[in-house]
Structure 1
Amino acid sequence: MALDTAWAIDWVRRTAATIDDHRAELVTLDREIGDGDHGENLDRGFRAVVEAVDSATFDTPGAVFKTVATKLISTVGGAAGPLFGTAYLKAAQAAGDTAELDADTLVAVLTAARDGIVSRGKAEVGDKTMVDAWSAAVDAASTAAAAGEGPERVLAAAADAAVAGAESTEPLVARKGRASYLGERAVGHRDPGAQSTAYILRAAVDAA
């Protein structure tokens, strides 16, 4: 399947389904080092996103991403709404009016999403945040595209790397967010935003 508008819509639906499936896990992860509301907030947000997407017509993936951004920012509480909302907004801008994402455009979309999160959250790799998963995904996607892989393989590489990026947060001491207040006590716990990032990108692969 091409990475076109139909794919973007299916990605939204699959994301909502996987967040719902893993809601309790994400709540537990966040309860260990945060407020405990990450899973519930994201689940509520993506339910609203699906309703918005199902009631509209889109010509491009970028238009879908923009609707996702708007709904997440308006319905998701805590840090997740602004961060993921900014990611999708920047992704929409990078996608522009392109009807189908090729490998290079996909890398630009993922990079813009990551950079939006970095700009909004002021975090960097090693801070034990979703940036660890997003940056790993961007690096892997860039490498795959440079090697001549097609967009689906580039997306798969990004999703696989996001999983590793989420796992890499476990031994880290958090330097951002509520987890930073725990100091060494946050060591051994996975960042919930990094984990949800891995689920979101895996949903994109499944949609493809």
Structure 2
Amino acid sequence: MAATAAAVDREAAWLTELDSPIGDADHGTNLQRGFAAVVKVLGSDPPGTPGAVLTAAGRQLISSVGGASGPLYGTLLRRTGKALGDAETVTAGELLAGLRVGVDAVAQLGGASAGDKTMIDALEPAVEALATSFDAAADAARQGAEATVPLRARKGRASYLGERSVGHQDPGATSAALLFAALAEVAGPEVAE
């Protein structure tokens, strides 16, 4: 979570710039505030298990990030954390299974699927590639985010723009790619399963 917070902090202006033409121009600042709060909460009362870390982080994001990002990222982390359960350590394969649960929950909450120009366009390929390695997952998420540029938004705030959403990279998919880049940075090139 600290690596994610650092990545969001570094890229907050870019995320907000991406959000300006197709959203509320607040994606970067909202996530920056939310992940800073996550790091603070986890630092003051560190949970004892990976699942508890993700669950606490998700709760904090829901309570501190405005718009759709808080509930979506909060759901991703909370559902992943709950899937991991109370295990003191988690294998890469168990993390993969937990993330699949989390991504499915986000898709259900947002009613989105791949091709809708949302964070799902980065999350789904990342989780699939995680079976290969953490680096592969980060690459897949980045490519998924970049692939949103020619898409017309069918979900989220950008969908109200219709054809005008074409030509812009989705900020949610981009921030999802940052999450997987941070995971790869911390976990290294280890094979996930």
User: Matched residues in 1 for 2:185 and 2:89: separation?
Assistant: 17
Deviation per CA, 1:150-179: give whole Å up to 9, x if none.
Answer: xxxx32221111011101111100001111
Partner residue of 1:28?
17
Partner residue of 2:32?
43
Q: For 1:93-112, what aligned pairs fall within 5 Å after superposition?
A: 93-112=82-101
1:85 and 2:74 matched: yes
Residue 173 of structure 2 aligns to a residue in which SS?
helix
Partner residue of 1:64?
53
- Identify the range of structure 1 (126-135 vs 106-115) with the bigger mean alpha-carbon deviation: 106-115
**Residue ranges of structure 2 left out of the alignment (5+ in a row):** 188-193
**Residue ranges of structure 1 left out of the alignment (5+ in a row):** 1-11, 145-153
Q: Percent identity?
A: 51
Partner residue of 2:144?
165
The alpha carbon displacement at 1:32 in A equals: 1.4
Residue 22 of structure 1 aligns to a residue in which SS?
helix
Could you tell me which of 133, 148, 159 is aligned with 1:180? 159
Partner residue of 1:76?
65
Q: Which has the higher helix share?
A: 1
Could you tell me which of 162, 165, 174 is aligned with 1:195? 174
Deviation per CA, 1:120-167: give whole Å up to 9, x if none.
Answer: 11100000000000011112124x2xxxxxxxxx32221111011101
Deviation per CA, 1:37-63: give whole Å up to 9, x if none.
Answer: 100100000111011000013221101
Residue 99 of structure 1 aligns to a residue in which SS?
coil
What amino acid is the match of 2:42? V
User: Matched residues in 2 for 1:113 and 1:73: separation?
Assistant: 14
User: Matched residues in 1 for 2:178 and 2:53: separation?
Assistant: 19
Deviation per CA, 1:43-101: give whole Å up to 9, x if none.
Answer: 00011101100001322110100110110000000000000000001110111122222
Residue 180 of structure 2 aligns to a residue in which SS?
helix
Partner residue of 1:3?
none
Partner residue of 1:132?
121
TM-score by length of 2: 0.94
Aligned length: 187
Q: CA RMSD in A?
A: 1.0
What amino acid is the match of 1:117? V
- Which structure carries more relative contact order (alpha carbon 8 Å, separation 6+)? 1
Residue 64 of structure 1 aligns to a residue in which SS?
helix
What amino acid is the match of 2:177? A
1:54 and 2:33 matched: no
